Structure 1
Amino acid sequence: MDASFLIHYGTIGTVMGLSSLGVGLGQGAVGKAAVDAAVLQPHARADINRAAILGIALLDTAAIFGITIGILLLTSTNTVMDNWYTGIAYAGIACALGISSLCVGFFASGPVISACYALARHPQTSPAIIRLMLISQTLIQTPLIFGFIISVLIRFGSAPRAQDIYDSLRIIASGLAIGLGSIGPTIGLSRFGLNAVKSLGLNRESQRTVTSFAFISQAIIETPLIFALIIALIVLFMPSGGSDIIKAIKALCAAVCIGLGTYGPSISSSNTASAACTEIALRPENYSIISRLSLTSQALIDTSVIYSLIVAFMCVFI
């Protein structure tokens, strides 16, 4: 019982601590970039301030989700008293929302920082720069939203019905799948968003081509995250395994497999797309060739996560 309460309240502290840490670091980096950019170009101070304020407001999403889950967990103490397996299962929330909020809170600052410096270089293109910054930041929130969804399902669905250690470990595995699976896509989306916004600052004539290319590339970069969500949902709703600890271990293996499997494809796809984005900005007349080659390469890179998905399926169903 004491261990159950320790994990329960530890989960609350972990979620709030990690979300606050990520958001605080991200907002601090944005504030520094805004001040530096305003010093470089005082005439663009109004646009830089607007971009920084909008970006900081979106960064707060991680903290808002964190405090929401924290309050929901504080209202579930009676359930933990009745069933100590529930308290253990809540650790899945720390994995799902704690990791994703830390990553998103910090890395979502990348496009905002890039926008501040791009506005200092080309203040006349401020609408396009701010628009692409907001689009990039919004898409980076996807891992956080998935982590929040899994956390809500754990809080109101699976955890209160946990009846044995298998159920608890299975629920933790679900949170771990989406938590680990969010790191690579978040980093990839952040790096690409930063470079896409930076590209607009290199050539204001490339607004249309860079923006259209960014939409497609960001969708490809976050594809591995969809696979992580699928495994997280499958593991979360698996039938109870009773005292079969082997099934619990297999669920954890599936979570780690798909979680780590998202890193390489997402980050590598981001590097490819970032290089293409820069070339499109410098040579917009070659947009068709560059974009086709980049998208083909990204599609082939993303196939590697399918292997992790297959192994994760085998861990769950065999």
Structure 2
Amino acid sequence: MEQDIQTWVKLAAYTGGGLSIGFGAIGAAIGEGYTAAQANAAVSRNPALAGDVFKSMLVGQAIAESASIFSLVVAMILLFSNIPAGSYVTVAAVFAAGLAMGFGAIGSGVGAGFPAGAACTGLVRQPSMSAKLTTNMLIGSAVCQTPSIFALVISFILIFSDFATHPLWPAWGAILGAGLASGLSAIGSGIGGGIVAGASSEGIARQPTSVSPVTNIMLLGQAIAQTPAILGLLVAFILIFKEFGATETIAPAMALLGSGLCMGIGGIGPGIGEGIASSGGVKWIARNEKEIGTLTRTMLVGMAVAESTAIYAMVISLVLIFVV
């Protein structure tokens, strides 16, 4: 049975909406579950502080929930908005919007669980540091949401942009590639940022006098761990806004789709690896502040080497866009 463009747009929007909240629920649930597990461990050590731990757990879980709320918003827009169907490229765009937000929420949800869990266990070790532990958790968890916000931006651009003038071939490949580049690359950065923040909360609990240097190094490490998601965002912008000439061959569209996959998948490992490297720096600076210079230098070099693989992915991604 022959279908018009509007029917295909609706089909893609419904599928994209389902994928948005379906994938988006994964990370938040894992992060919240991890937080609850650590809260139980904390209460078992000091039952007298159960009330404070419970409050800290709920705050941490609320932040971990943020990314899935972004996914829910995108899903609701896709399901209930009257999206103009000016071109079959719009079909790819609304589907890619769901993929971008769904994948993009996974890492942020998981990552936010680490500082929340560490804050709960740290609270029973250092009850007097409750306020500073909560502040550190809030800052660290908030930064973890940055990659999901990048994905949200790309999703909104894909939903609300007019693609009527874009040729179906190869634009559909570019649009799908943009969603995958932003969504997949956000996974590693979200998890990596959470690993750093978790180590920071743990370090403050072990050595309360180290709050200032540990928080500063945490933010530095998180900023660097965000770079794979930023590279994914950059590739997504290029794929969305660069004009591609019409063609009747499949190779250009597949090259553009491959570009998004390359940058998206290629950004997962570096984001997590940089988070692990940075967590080591944060952890040991808390225990040995006198060597902060040496430890920070080692951390930065290690993170730079881990970042190199994301740069390799970006190079190949750009070759697929501009050369192939």
TM-score normalized by the length of structure 1 = 0.91
Structure 1: distance between partners of 2:117 and 2:36: 9
In the alignment, structure 1 segments of 5+ residues that lack a partner are: none
Superposed counterparts of 1:91-240, under 5 Å: 91-158=95-162, 163-240=167-244
Aligned identity (percent) is 27
1:13 offset after TM fit, Å?
1.1
SS of aligned partner of 2:243: coil
Q: What does the per-residue CA deviation read over 1:258-308, in whole Å, with 9 as the maximum and x for residues that have no partner?
A: 122223322222222222222212212222221122223323432332222
Determine the C-alpha separation between the residues in 2 that align with 1:295 and 1:123: 32
1:157 Cα deviation from its structure 2 partner? 0.7
Question: Is the 1:23–1:62 Cα contact (8 Å) retained in structure 2?
Answer: yes
Q: Secondary structure at the match of 1:90?
A: helix
Q: Distance in 2 between matches of 1:251 and 1:167?
A: 8
| Aligned residue type for 2:105 | S
Aligned length: 317
Matched to 2:43, the amino acid is: A
Gaps of 5+ in 2: none
1:310 counterpart = 2:315: yes
Query: Structure 1 pair 103/220, CA: closer, same or farther in 2 (3 Å)?
Result: closer
Shift of 1:26: 2.6
Could you give the per-residue CA deviations for residues 142-171 of structure 1, whole angstroms, max 9, x where no partner exists? 110000000000001155665525322221
Which string of whole-angstrom CA distances, capped at 9 and with x for unpartnered residues, describes residues 208-250 of structure 1?
2211211111111111211111000000112143234322111
Q: CA deviation at 1:138?
A: 0.8
Q: Do 1:276 and 1:294's aligned partners in 2 also have CA atoms closer than 8 Å?
A: yes
What aligned pairs does 1:43-62 form with structure 2 within 5 A after superposition? 43-62=48-67
Q: What is the one-letter code of the residue matched to 2:73?
A: T
**Structure 1 counterpart of 2:90:** 86
Q: Quick one: distance in 1 between partners of 2:173 and 2:50?
A: 52
Query: What's the counterpart of residue 286 of structure 2?
Result: 281
Tell me the distance in 1 between the aligned counterparts of 2:115 and 2:159: 33
Counterpart-to-counterpart distance in 1, 2:237 and 2:313: 16
Q: Could you say which residue in structure 1 is the equivalent of 2:251?
A: 246
Deviates more, 1:277-286 or 1:238-247: 238-247
Q: 1:167 to 1:210 in 2, by over 3 A?
A: same
Counterpart of 1:63 in structure 2 is 68
Instruction: Name the CA distance, whole Å, in 2 between partners of 1:264 and 1:32.
Output: 26
Residue number in structure 2 paired with 1:13: 18
The AA in structure 1 aligned to 2:296 is: S
Name the TM-score, length of structure 2 as normaliser: 0.89
Asked if structure 2 preserves the Cα contact closer than 8 Å seen for 1:86 and 1:162, the reply is no
